[in-house]
């Protein structure tokens, strides 16, 4: 089998194998699957940071074989978004993947994923894809159609036992979970906590867009979420807690696209804390970057983010 190999600079671990075609990928996975090895998939668009690496490390610890996809998916970008300038550094990503112990990196060209005549999409309907980022006045439901279509194709091509996602993209993870449940994909979806910089900023590939002054202002997103969480758990009405978060953003000169409280599973609007976990999500332009973040408020545990996992067939 003709595979590109990339070895880490200082490691005795095997080199990562780079695969460009889905037929080649399936051939590479035939024997591990036949031998009953546990396969983990970490979907990425590259420009890896510590958040991605936490997913790779979890997959390495829990699975016998780890596949990382490396594909900037054009169908989840809308007109005027940052597809052309989205940060890319494949050579660096491959070295980081090798150092993390990834076995295969699936890095297909666009025409391999969307060949000429491609005409099928996978869509999750209802509130999950119609609010927050899915609101038609924002990124819109077409964004999530792009996400679910490419994730469905990756699940079909890799056939993993577990697929790993980050809590920072909480809405995306919820949409993928629903797709997996509704379409009976035999895979467990694991969602791991957001990885943050020391000052609280959620790690994101788009942080590379930030100039120093904007980087300093961007920390207000995590401060705003902490203000909402602390006020709500302290007994303030949820509306007052959200106002405290808005004040943090305003102090940094940031006008959010949204700062909303949603049921963490259904994404229905929430007016007050109850027995069910609540997701407080924010999106805002900061300089040239559109940043997102969220915090999970679980009144039962009087706390915030935690790793979660769900089977595909629940």
Dist. CA 190–CA 74, nearest whole Å: 24
Q: Containing H/E element for 197?
A: none
Quick count: other Cβ atoms within 10 Å of Cβ 295? 24
> Using alpha carbons only, what angle is made at residue 274 by residues 200 and 283, rounded to the nearest 5 degrees?
35
Could you tell me how far CA 119 lies from the centroid of its own chain?
25
Read off the tokens for 238.
């949820």
State how beta strands 104-106 and 16-19 pair: parallel
DSSP 76-122: GPPTTSSTTTS---HHHHHHHHHHTT-SEEE---HHHHS-TT-----
Question: Pseudo-torsion of CA 16, 21, 24, 25, nearest 10°?
Answer: 60
Among candidate residues 49, 52, 143, 302, the one labeled active-site is 52
Dist. CA 96–CA 7, nearest whole Å: 10
- Please state whether 129 falls in left (phi above 0), alpha (psi between -120 and 50) or beta: alpha
Question: Pseudo-torsion of CA 112, 113, 117, 123, nearest 10°?
Answer: 170
CA distances from 79 to 62, 75, 84, 140, 175 (A): 39, 10, 11, 11, 22
Catalytic (active site) residue 52: yes
Read off the tokens for 16.
């990562």
Q: Containing H/E element for 3?
A: none
Which residues are catalytic, by number? Answer: 52
């Amino acid at each position: 089998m003709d595979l590109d190999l990339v070895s880490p600079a200082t490691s005795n671990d095997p080199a990562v194998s780079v695969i460009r075609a889905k037929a080649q990928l399936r051939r590479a996975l035939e024997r591990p699957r036949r031998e009953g090895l546990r396969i983990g998939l970490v979907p990425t668009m590259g420009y890896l940071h510590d958040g991605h690496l936490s997913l790779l490390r979890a997959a390495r610890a829990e699975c016998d074989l780890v596949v990382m996809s490396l594909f900037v998916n054009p169908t989840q970008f809308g007109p005027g978004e940052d597809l052309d300038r989205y940060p890319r550094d494949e050579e660096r990503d491959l070295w980081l993947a090798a150092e993390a112990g990834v076995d295969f990196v699936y890095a297909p060209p666009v025409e391999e994923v969307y060949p000429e005549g491609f005409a099928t999409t996978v869509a999750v309907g209802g509130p999950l894809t119609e609010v927050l980022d899915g609101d038609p006045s924002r990124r819109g439901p077409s964004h999530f159609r792009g996400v679910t279509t490419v994730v469905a194709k990756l699940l079909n091509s890799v056939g993993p036992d577990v697929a790993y996602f980050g809590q920072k993209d909480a809405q995306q993870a919820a949409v993928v979970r629903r797709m997996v449940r509704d379409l009976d994909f035999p895979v467990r979806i694991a969602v791991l906590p957001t990885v943050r910089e020391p000052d609280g900023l959620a790690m994101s590939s788009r942080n590379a867009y930030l100039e120093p002054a904007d980087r300093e202002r961007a920390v207000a997103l995590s401060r705003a979420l902490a203000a909402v969480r602390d006020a709500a758990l302290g007994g303030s009405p949820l509306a007052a807690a959200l106002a405290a978060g808005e004040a943090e953003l305003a102090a940094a000169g940031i006008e959010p696209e949204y700062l909303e409280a949603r049921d963490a599973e259904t994404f229905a609007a929430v007016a007050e804390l109850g027995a069910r976990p609540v997701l407080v999500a924010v999106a805002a332009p900061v300089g040239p970057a559109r940043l997102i973040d969220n915090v999970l408020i679980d009144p039962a545990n009087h706390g915030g983010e935690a790793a979660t996992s769900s089977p595909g067939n629940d």
